[in-house]
Amino acid sequence: MQPATTTRTQAKANRRSVLLNSAATLFAQRGFSGVSIEDLGAAAGVSGPAVYRHFSGKQALLGALLVGVSADLLAGGQAVLASTPDVDASLRALVAFHVDFALTKPDIIRVQDRDLDSLSDADRAQVRSLQRAYVELWVHTLEQLFPGRETAVLRLQAQAVFGLINSTPHSLRIHGRTAGTATARAVLESMAWAGLTSSQRRLGTGAGAAQTSSV
């Protein structure tokens, strides 16, 4: 009576995973509202309402996708902290982990910060909660390294670094040709590190130069 690994169960699990993966691609390309249930089924080799055998609806599929990735990020971050000897190494490993994630799964990154609002209230709350926990991993690490800085500033810095690292999905999708991912990895890690560790110093800049108006 164990959760038997019968043929049907296997097939179902596979289909579900194919559905999630192709959904990530489609949502990344066309956005949540730009993809129909028909499309989602077709991309997984079945057509239309078969999707309802795996998810209660389109929104629920998106929910599974984003809750999954948020949980993965958090778990990955926790694993990083558990396996590093000191705070300095922790931060470096966090950066490396996040860069790797962004370069490896650009689709999911894109869906996560594009279609978050299409989630059901419950799913959105859960995703936000997981994301917050992940951010706090960074903030806590940064607090140990930079006791002088306000927590609000550190949170803003963490978020800015996510933006920096997550920018590559955009860049890579738009230009066919950039530097290879190896170079990208090095550049992003270096920039993230610099942005986080350089002492906060004022830039002697005046205001925002000429303002053009058309919109």
Partner DNA sequence: ACACTAAGTTAATAACCACTAACTGAGTTT
Partner DNA sequence: AAACTCAGTTAGTGGTTATTAACTTAGTGT
* Residue 1 vs 206, nearer CB to its own copies: 206
CA atoms within 13 A on the CB side of 59: 8
Answer with the entry of its own copies, DNA, none that 11 interacts with (C-beta below 5 to 8 A by kind). DNA
* Residue 23 vs 102, nearer CB to DNA: 23
> Of 8-47, which residues contact DNA (CB under 7 A)?
8-9, 11-12, 15, 33, 35-38, 41, 46-47
For residue 202, what are the contacts with CB-CB under 8 A and spacing of at least 6? none
String of contacts with DNA for each residue 60-99, x by CB under 7 A: ----------------------------------------
Answer with the entry of its own copies, DNA, none that 133 interacts with (C-beta below 5 to 8 A by kind). none
* Residue 1 vs 149, nearer CB to its own copies: 149
* Residue 1 vs 205, nearer CB to its own copies: 205
Q: What does the alpha-carbon distance between residue 109 and residue 182 come to, in Å, rounded to a whole number?
A: 19
Least Å distance between CB 56 and its own copies? 18
Which whole-number Å values give the CA distances from 185 to 70, 117, 180, 188, in the listed order?
21, 30, 9, 5
Least Å distance between CB 27 and DNA? 11
Size of the site for DNA (CB under 7 A): 25
Q: Does 59 bind DNA (CB under 7 A)?
A: yes
Which whole-number Å values give the CA distances from 51 to 11, 23, 42, 73, in the listed order?
14, 11, 10, 26
Q: Are 61 and 36 in contact (CB under 8 A)?
A: no
First to last CA, the chain: 65
* Residue 1 vs 153, nearer CB to its own copies: 153
Instruction: Retrieve residue 137's tokens.
Output: 């991993």
Q: Does 2 bind DNA (CB under 7 A)?
A: no
Q: What is the CA radius of gyration of the chain?
A: 20
* Local structure of 21: helix, strand or coil: helix
Query: Which residue ranges make up the site for DNA (CB under 7 A)?
Result: 4, 6-9, 11-12, 15, 33, 35-38, 41, 46-50, 52-54, 57-59
